[in-house]
Structure 1
Amino acid sequence: MDASRYDTTRRQGAWHACLRSARPNFLVLAPLCAGLAVLTARLEGAPVARLDTLLVLLAALLAHAAVNLFNEHHDFVSGLDATTRRTPFSGGSGALPAQPVAAPLVKRAAVACLAGVVIIGGWFVWRSGPWLLLYGLLGLGLVVAYTGVLTQRPLLCLLAPGLGFGTLMVVGAHQALSGHFSSLAMAVSLVPTLLVSALLLLNQVPDIDADRRVGRRHLAILLGRRRAVRLAGVLVLAAFLVVPAGGAVGLLPATAWLTWLLLPAVAWLVRGLWRLNDDDEAALVPWLGANVAVQLGTLALLNLGLWLAG
């Protein structure tokens, strides 16, 4: 192979590794969460322009990609990737161990995604007011600090993903679109807040041993496999109880009950997680996939319910 063809192949491999490091298969979560903000703003009568909708969805997508890229880069340079046993839902993409030359590109891509979020956020701050800075600064802090800092603090590590995708993304984007705080958006945000915290907690369980070796101290390490898996199940169940609670106090529309179409699947999932043997790591992997499917399905149905209510 001549030098020019080798360089081209190398660059293509690096870009492919960068794309894999963003974990595109999981990026659908961010638009589903941001979509809740768009729909609650419309439900409350805010004149939401198409461009604003696109910008909110793009910012959410870029923020999620930035978290993934920073996480992949940190896990590679810290040596964690060399000791992690990957599953389809945990342990990272494996892109950088296969293409180490892509590490600088992945970090630059993470910074670029974060810069995109800052630019979009700056536009909404200029238009809707300085209160949005609170959401933006907290969100940026979570993106940058999650892998390197928050994984050393068990409770913050549990809460951070849910707060990022739930409270900050839904309530913050709602205020960016409507110009005001919303009790409806806050109530709706509790669903992704609980679901995403459960998702990250459960996905940390297969990585407990590897994470412990590099000095991490998240809640899955502190609780152990069995209790961490059970807590994740409790959080999923709690997310489903948000709908009747919100409906009882008049915050959520009746169509939000569409999420309960998945109640049999949720009951099956929670029962399966509760009965898992903590010594059988292989048995956990199908439940990781089931959890992802239930969570994405729940958020999709909640979006549909809010759309129908409008």
Structure 2
Amino acid sequence: MSIKLATLIQSARVPFLILAPVSVFLGICTAYISAVEIDWLHVALAVVAALLAHISVNAFNEYMDFRSGLDLKTERTPFSGGSGGLVENPAALNGVLVMAWATLLGTIAIGSYFVYLRGEALLWLGAIGVLLVVGYTPWINRSPLLCWLAPGLGFGPVMVLGTHIALTGDLNGLALLVSLVPFMLANNLLLLNQFPDIDADRVSGRRHVPIIYGKSASLALYSFGVLVASVAIIMGCFLSLLPWLSLLALLPLSLAITVVLGLKPLLRKSSATWLPFLGRNVIMTLVTPLILGVTLLLG
């Protein structure tokens, strides 16, 4: 494997790409139980589009953070600080930019096909998705509220609702409710992963929640996000939108209690002490939607 290709793969942040198909999986599940005949080619296209979009936003982030010098100041962890691929091989800079645009164009091409097939609702969701991909690094992370909301919008409403509409041509209350879970969990995922980058991000002009309001306030916002996700699942069961079996999704969500209680006394300590709890949060973010989707199918 050439050094440039290795850097491109590294800059795509392959280990982080799991969340995209997990979010699409939820949309597939809501579509499947809506008594609509599923076209499995469309399922494959939805998964590919989500992966391409995720690679694109990662590659744009890698390119811009290296160009700004942020990657040279950041202490990388398994959950934050970028891949470091361009720091090790700056010659691949233009290749990473080409990858960012190529994957974005691939996403737009698949999205355009579904817009042609399903209509205007997907056009608006797709436009939001493109704005999130292109605008996250240069603009969105200058606003604490937008920076917190952006990941959840992408992995929640855009991917879950986009998949559901692409497969069914319609939207229902179940898909809307279910999209709240990855919406809150993805927001929380990035929120905690910003903790190790606070100092470097502040110097580079970013203004996300941990910088502006501090880590304690961020943990309170994190707790709010978990509460909303939990209430969405419980209310879905009471409203008969979800089977009672879906309460099993609350089990991985309970990891959030250990994350908050574990991080709180460590906020003034080094970032290395936070890593076990950041890892737990990643597990919760991935497993909760998976269990929710499986229980939808079984219930």
TM-score (norm 1): 0.92
Could you list the runs of 5+ residues in structure 2 that have no partner in the other structure? Answer: none
Deviation readout 1:88-132 (Å, 9 max, x if unpaired): 100001100000001100110111111111111111111111221
Equivalent pairs counted in the alignment come to 299
Counterpart of 1:304, as a letter, is V
1:115 and 2:105 aligned:
yes
TM-score (norm 2): 0.96
Deviation readout 1:231-282 (Å, 9 max, x if unpaired): 2243234322321122222322223222123254333223223443334432
1:226 maps to which residue?
216
Q: Does the 8 Å contact 1:226/1:276 carry over to 2?
A: no
1:290 maps to which residue?
280
1:90 maps to which residue?
80
1:135 and 2:125 aligned:
yes
27-36 or 165-174: bigger deviation: 165-174
1:5 maps to which residue?
none
Could you list the runs of 5+ residues in structure 1 that have no partner in the other structure? Answer: 1-8
Residues 292 and 257 of structure 1, relative CA distance in 2, 3 Å threshold: same
Residues 129 and 277 of structure 1, relative CA distance in 2, 3 Å threshold: closer
d(CA) in 2 for partners of 1:173 and 1:99?
A: 36
2:206 maps to which residue?
216
Deviation readout 1:161-219 (Å, 9 max, x if unpaired): 10110011111221111111111000000000000000011111111110110111111
Q: Does the 8 Å contact 1:171/1:182 carry over to 2?
A: no
After TM superposition, give the deviation of residue 300 of structure 1 in Å. Answer: 1.6
Q: Does the 8 Å contact 2:253/2:284 carry over to 1?
A: no
Q: Secondary structure at the match of 2:120?
A: coil
- 229, 238, 242: which one pairs with 1:248? 238
Identity %: 45
1:14 and 2:11 aligned:
no
Counterpart of 2:178, as a letter, is V
Superposed CA RMSD in Å reads 1.5
- 99, 103, 106: which one pairs with 2:93? 103
1:75 maps to which residue?
65
- 251, 268, 290: which one pairs with 1:261? 251
d(CA) in 2 for partners of 1:235 and 1:101?
A: 40
1:191 and 2:177 aligned:
no
Residues 284 and 233 of structure 1, relative CA distance in 2, 3 Å threshold: farther
d(CA) in 2 for partners of 1:209 and 1:277?
A: 14
Q: Secondary structure at the match of 1:241?
A: helix
